[in-house]
Amino acid sequence: MINDLWYKNAIIYCLHVGTYMDANGDGVGDFQGLLRRLDYLHGLGVTAIWLMPFQTSPNRDDGYDVADYYNVDPRYGTLGDFVEFTHGARQRGIRVLIDLVVNHTSNEHAWFKEARKDPQSKYRDWYIWSKKKPPNANKGMVFPGVQKTTWTYDSVAKEYYFHRFYDFQPDLNTSNPLVQAEILKIMGFWIQLGVSGFRMDAVPFVIGTKGAKVKTPHEQYDMLRTFREFLQWREGDAIILAEANVLPDTDMHYFGDDGERMQMMFNFQVNQHLFYALASSDTRPLIKSLRATKPRPATAQWGLFLRNHDELDLGRLTDKERQVVFDAFGPDKDMQLYDRGIRRRLAPMLAGDRRRIELAYSLMFTLPGTPVIRYGDELGMGDDLKLPERNCARTPMQWSNEPHGGFTKSDKPIMPVISHGPYGYEHTNAAIQRRHDESMLNWTERVIRMRKEVPEIGWGDFEILRLRDPAILAIRYDWRNNSVVILHNLDANAREITFDVGLENEGGRVLINLLSEDHSEAQSNGKHKLVIEGYGYRWYRAGGLDYLLRRSEA
């Protein structure tokens, strides 16, 4: 594999082994099943897989409660199966990223068991304790409405321990040098087994100061450099993709001024404002967030996503904006979660409207960054609101119209497969969609192929073109003397638009449509005028002078 900045233009696909494909028929997805599906992923055009946590775990938070960092949960297979899988991925040119969940462990981790039992244990100081209940114990919960406190009394230790998330996820004392050394060891272990990096969970909390006396945690950003350096000493092209839902003015602290910290971060700002734009047809706040997140080191990259395995967090929107998104995409209380988000999958949020789903994906594939697809979205899979909290959007992959969607031969799948109705596996599955040219699956495959042919998006500089119509988003990317212009109409109605590509020397006279034969030639005043249908999108390559010449010769 080529070892340059591969992540700048990767196509990342995230999945949970447990709900992807069950090979041994016990109802739980496993590495052997995933191995069999690598050709499907390769065919789709995926270049990197992000695996959600699969290490040994009591699975009370879908694996985000790790009980042994150096093992595969037996339900998913063995370390041997894992290596077979990374090998199979490598053979197909697909990289593997895995979750690194080190802000906290499970309360069933041996370190925590030792720590609570024996104040003299070396592990006592790996966690955060307090003899008295700290006054701010009812603050800073990540799951409001479900989580009651951030400090819980432990009857064995006879002290309170700190947990930013659920009470079964005690926080590690990440300021402790021994804990930091262990984090490096964990990275080193998985790197050795063939992964190309990590999606680091809850980064602001990992680097934040913790303790009973800490009123406002302060971020110890230099820890990020330590992680990054170690990783690259071991494997030059390995990366960290940080989960950090932070404000744009701290982005550079996470990337590092010289790009010496995180290579990638998820762009939560753009994610939330993108949903607002989809809900309101007003792209202005989205444009603002694109501009606010523009500064980044040349080697850094954003991870762009629509929906992930968590709720769609709308906490960064104004109250009014959030309400607009709730009204449009999650009006029932049952669809909302943690007082700030929507727990549904993308397709049902957009009422299964293919035009809107394509629009959303076209945006995700062409906004500045690297796209991160969630498994099943390539089929337009739905959700099951009967399942609690975030589980509603974590149902098994729908492969075919065999029982349980072909996910398992067992009668007891780990999670119920969605059946009946428009999103049921009987209609929505990979086998059927493979056979239909116009299916969501084949559309996604084509769009991924084209996205790979437009490296300008990942590498280039971008400029938002001035248009008077707030429903239209027009972006131009420039890289190595090439330019592409991408248009989206967020409104249901067709729009006539006039715009200037903004390139000198006739560079923007002709726009070649990359997805259809519908090209555009500038008028005599140099401006393009065209009609873009409701929820329409256009991907153009600028500067098709050759095309003009060929036409005049013909």
Q: Are 539 and 513 in contact (CB under 8 A)?
A: yes
| Helix H or strand E encompassing 153 | strand 151-154
Find the angle CA(18)-CA(24)-CA(28) to the nearest 5 degrees. 20
Site string for ligand NOJ, 208-247 (x = CB under 6 A): -----------------------------------x----
Q: Which is nearer to ligand NOJ, 15 or 202 (CB)?
A: 202
201 belongs to the catalytic site: yes
Does residue 165 interact with ligand NOJ by CB under 6 A?
Answer: yes
Q: Which residue of 81, 201, 311, 491 would you call a contact of ligand NOJ, by CB under 6 A?
A: 201
First-last CA distance in the chain: 43
Q: Which is nearer to ligand NOJ, 22 or 201 (CB)?
A: 201
Does residue 203 interact with ligand NOJ by CB under 6 A?
Answer: no
Residue corresponding to tokens 């209940």: 133
Q: Are 392 and 31 in contact (CB under 8 A)?
A: no
| Separation of alpha carbons 414 and 27, rounded Å | 6
Site string for ligand NOJ, 40-69 (x = CB under 6 A): ---------------------x--x-----
- Residue 242 phi/psi, 5-degree rounding, is -90, 130
CB atoms within 10 A of CB 221: 15
Spell out the residues 6+ positions from residue 113 whose beta carbon is closer than 8 angstroms to its own: none
- From the candidates 159, 201, 377, 469, give the one annotated as an active-site residue: 201
Q: Which is nearer to ligand NOJ, 201 or 235 (CB)?
A: 201
Six-digit token pair at 163?
A: 């947990």
Quote the least distance from Cβ 165 to ligand NOJ, whole Å.
Answer: 4
Quote the least distance from Cβ 403 to ligand NOJ, whole Å.
Answer: 29
Q: Which is nearer to ligand NOJ, 112 or 399 (CB)?
A: 112
Does residue 310 interact with ligand NOJ by CB under 6 A?
Answer: yes
Quote the least distance from Cβ 312 to ligand NOJ, whole Å.
Answer: 12
Six-digit token pair at 410?
A: 């067992």
Q: Which is nearer to ligand NOJ, 14 or 212 (CB)?
A: 14
Q: Are 312 and 342 in contact (CB under 8 A)?
A: yes
Residues facing residue 370 across a β-bridge: 303
| Separation of alpha carbons 510 and 518, rounded Å | 11
From its phi and psi, is residue 50 left (phi > 0), alpha (psi between -120 and 50) or beta? Answer: beta
Rg, Å, the chain Cα set: 24
Q: Which is nearer to ligand NOJ, 272 or 483 (CB)?
A: 272
Quote the least distance from Cβ 150 to ligand NOJ, whole Å.
Answer: 13
Does residue 311 interact with ligand NOJ by CB under 6 A?
Answer: no
Q: Are 423 and 431 in contact (CB under 8 A)?
A: no
Quote the least distance from Cβ 135 to ligand NOJ, whole Å.
Answer: 24
61 belongs to the catalytic site: no
Quote the least distance from Cβ 310 to ligand NOJ, whole Å.
Answer: 5
Does residue 76 interact with ligand NOJ by CB under 6 A?
Answer: no
Q: Which is nearer to ligand NOJ, 151 or 535 (CB)?
A: 151
Q: Which is nearer to ligand NOJ, 9 or 55 (CB)?
A: 55
Q: Which is nearer to ligand NOJ, 268 or 499 (CB)?
A: 268
Q: Which residue of 15, 48, 101, 325 would you call a contact of ligand NOJ, by CB under 6 A?
A: 101
Quote the least distance from Cβ 201 to ligand NOJ, whole Å.
Answer: 5
Does residue 202 interact with ligand NOJ by CB under 6 A?
Answer: yes
Pairing state between β 537-542 and 482-489? antiparallel
Spell out the residues 6+ positions from residue 391 whose beta carbon is closer than 8 angstroms to its own: 62, 384, 415
- From the candidates 243, 321, 377, 445, give the one annotated as an active-site residue: 243
Quote the least distance from Cβ 141 to ligand NOJ, whole Å.
Answer: 12
Using Cβ positions, the residue closest to ligand NOJ within the complex turns out to be 64
Binding footprint of ligand NOJ, residue count (CB under 6 A): 9
In 3D space, the residue among 444, 443, 434, 399 whose CA is nearest the CA of residue 417 turns out to be 399
Quote the least distance from Cβ 59 to ligand NOJ, whole Å.
Answer: 12
Quote the least distance from Cβ 34 to ligand NOJ, whole Å.
Answer: 20
Q: Which is nearer to ligand NOJ, 60 or 355 (CB)?
A: 60
In 3D space, the residue among 305, 302, 307 whose CA is nearest the CA of residue 457 turns out to be 302
Six-digit token pair at 336?
A: 């909302």
| Separation of alpha carbons 40 and 36, rounded Å | 8
Does residue 171 interact with ligand NOJ by CB under 6 A?
Answer: no
| Separation of alpha carbons 329 and 346, rounded Å | 9
> Counting beta carbons within 10 angstroms of the beta carbon of residue 297, is it exposed (0 to 12), middle (13 to 18) or buried (19 or more)?
middle
| Separation of alpha carbons 207 and 99, rounded Å | 17
> Counting beta carbons within 10 angstroms of the beta carbon of residue 516, is it exposed (0 to 12), middle (13 to 18) or buried (19 or more)?
exposed
Task: Give the residues lining the site for ligand NOJ (CB under 6 A).
Answer: 61, 64, 101, 165, 201-202, 243, 309-310
Active site residues: 201, 243
